Amino acid sequence: MTAAVQTIIEQLGRIDVVVANAGITPPPATLRQIDPDAFDRARSFTGVFNTVHPTIDEVIRNSGHIVVVSSAASKAGVEALGRALRSAVAGYGATAGIAYFGMVDTQLARATLDDDEIGRKLDARLTRSLGHRISRTVPPR
């Protein structure tokens, strides 16, 4: 990740915003049924940390913003990290926040839905695309 961050800085000159959205949706299962390895992969705390750690100095330098994406109990660690980040960067003119998106319409999310009445109802509730890129919404600094 450090090499990727350096490449971004070399090509674009700076990093103002970081979105740490690491995680997977495990196959549906109860606590008694879920494979422990699948559960461990779904706890994306380490992935979020691995995104934030090499970018934090650059975000602070540019008075930027870090968003850590959180969703369910498996991301309690992500939420705690987001709150700690908010305090850690505040004194430097940067900000951090936590986003709770719920389930978004992706191939990964669709793969977890059963083809039955409940699966179809959940499918109907998936958050669809906004129809435009965030980068086109936020004016450049």
CATH code of residue 53: 3.40.50.720
pLDDT surpasses 80 at 30: no
- In this structure, the answer to whether residues 67 and 135 fall within a common structural domain is no
**Mean pLDDT on 5-29:** 85
- In this structure, the answer to whether residues 43 and 8 fall within a common structural domain is yes
**What Å distances lie between residue 80 and 14, 26, 74, 83, 86, CA to CA?**
27, 22, 12, 5, 10
d(CA 50, CA 55): 9
Structure-model confidence comparison of residues 6 and 24, the more confident one? 6
Structure token pair of residue 132:
């435009």
- 96-131 pLDDT, tens digit per residue, is 888 876 666 677 667 766 677 777 777 777 666 555
d(CA 19, CA 80): 16
**Can you give the residue range of the structural domain that contains 26?**
2-102
Structure-model confidence comparison of residues 25 and 17, the more confident one? 17
The pLDDT, as a whole number, for residue 82 is: 84
- 54-100 pLDDT, tens digit per residue, is 999 999 999 999 988 876 555 677 788 888 889 889 999 999 888 87
d(CA 36, CA 26): 11
Q: Mean pLDDT in the chain?
A: 78
- Is pTM beyond 0.75? Reply is no
- In this structure, the answer to whether residues 46 and 113 fall within a common structural domain is no
Q: Which of 21-30, 40-49, 55-64, 116-125 has the highest average model confidence (pLDDT)?
A: 55-64
- How many structural domains is the chain composed of? 2
- In this structure, the answer to whether residues 80 and 110 fall within a common structural domain is no
- In this structure, the answer to whether residues 96 and 114 fall within a common structural domain is no
